[in-house]
Structures are given as C-alpha cells and as structure tokens.
Amino acid sequence: MSEARPPKTAVERLAAFAGTDLEDLCDAAEDAIKAGGGFGWLAAPPRHIMEAYWRGVLLVPERNLFVGRLDDTICGSAQLARPPRNNEAQSFAAQLTSNFIAPWARGHGLAKRIVLAVEEAARAAGFDILNLDVRATQEAAIQLYESLGYRRWGVHPAYARVAGVTLPGYFYYKRLAGEDAAER
C-alpha cells in the first residue's frame, strides 16, 4: 500500500496570471470570504467584479501580489503596498495587506511563508518598517503575526462592522532591518 504524500506547497510573487491562476485566486478568495476572513469583503462579489479586482491589483504600480500554491493551485495571497510617491515622510514604511488562505489549504505553513516573502521583498526594496492591521476577532492571523515578531502598537475601537456589530482592530509594525533601523 502506498503512503499518502504530503501536498506540494509553493509561494511566489505573481506578476501575471497564467493558466487557471485567476480563476483559482477568485475561488480561493470566495472560499475565504464565505468562512469570514475576506480582507474586507463580507459577501463574495459577482465573479466579474472579483476578477477585475485581482487584475487591478497586478496593474497598480505600488502593489505586489504574493500567492501561495497547494499542489500548484493558488489557494491564498497577500499584498505588499508601498506608500505613494508624495508621501516622502513615510517612504521607509510599507504595508502588508489582504492576507488570506482558503480554509481547505490552511495549516500547511503557507500564510507564514507568504508573510516572510512579503518581508523579504520589502527589505530588498529598502523598507525599514512593515505595517499591518487586523480585526481583533481574527485569532489565527493575530497568532501568526505575533509569532513572527510583529508588535501591536494600537487598538482601534471601531475598526470594522460585521453584521451590524462594530469590532475593534489591532495595528502592528515590524522593523525589517533590526531594532534601530527606523530611528536612522
């Protein structure tokens, strides 16, 4: 009898959609939204809106898309967002946003690898700080970020509203180049 093999996992920066990538990314995002963790979306939008959203992400010059694959199928993503050029005072700080993994692909370490890939890209682009924020109810994400050394610096008491309930949110940062880098 043959043993079940572990699934193949991969994380990469995606500059263009190939094959079924766009469809798979839409499917994964819809699954995550239905499970209650949809980076802002509370209900899955019509497919053409979702497709336009992802195509838009690839077109925005200040954004990079990172995806995770389980057995070659895209199952989640995150984005690195750089500050706009006019924001010279915050040109040392980038944002990690829209991080999710479809429920069926969780627990394989993909979210962690995606965050590390975003950090690496931000570091390589010369950023000293990575900022992110998360709903206070997203316990897995909070655990993930805190285990990777993100520091919670603030709580917003009215961060999101879900089904009429206003929820707090947590704000985090991580110094990418060591403790003193941000004070240069």
Interface stretch with ligand COA, choices 17-25, 87-95, 135-143, 165-173 (CB under 6 A): 135-143
Q: Which is closer to ligand COA, CB of 127 or CB of 145?
A: 145
Interface stretch with ligand COA, choices 11-19, 22-30, 45-53, 99-107 (CB under 6 A): 99-107
Q: Which long-range contacts (CB under 8 A, 24 or more apart) does 157-163 make?
A: 159/133, 159/135, 160/135, 162/42, 162/135, 163/42
Binding ligand COA by CB under 6 A: which of 99, 118, 127, 130?
99
Binding ligand COA by CB under 6 A: which of 19, 107, 126, 168?
107
Decide: is 90 part of the binding site for ligand COA (CB under 6 A): no
Binding ligand COA by CB under 6 A: which of 69, 82, 106, 174?
106
Decide: is 111 part of the binding site for ligand COA (CB under 6 A): yes
Q: Which x/- pattern, by CB under 6 A, does the window 13-52 give for ligand COA?
A: -------------------x----x---------------
What are the distances in angstroms from CA 158 to CA 44, 98, 134? 23, 19, 12
- Write the DSSP assignment of the chain as a string of letters: -PPPPPPPEEEEEESS--TTHHHHHHHHHHHHHHTT--TT-SSPPPHHHHHHHHHHHHH-TTEEEEEEEETTEEEEEEEEEPPPTT-GGGTTEEEEEEEEE-GGGTTSSHHHHHHHHHHHHHHHTT-SEEEEEEETT-HHHHHHHHHTT-EEEEEEEEEEEETTEEEEEEEEEEETT-TTGGG-
Decide: is 79 part of the binding site for ligand COA (CB under 6 A): no
Interface stretch with ligand COA, choices 8-16, 49-57, 102-110, 159-167 (CB under 6 A): 102-110
Give me the least distance between CB of 132 and ligand COA, in Å please.
Answer: 6
Q: Which residues bind ligand COA (CB under 6 A)?
A: 32, 37, 99-101, 106-112, 132, 134, 138-141, 143-144, 147
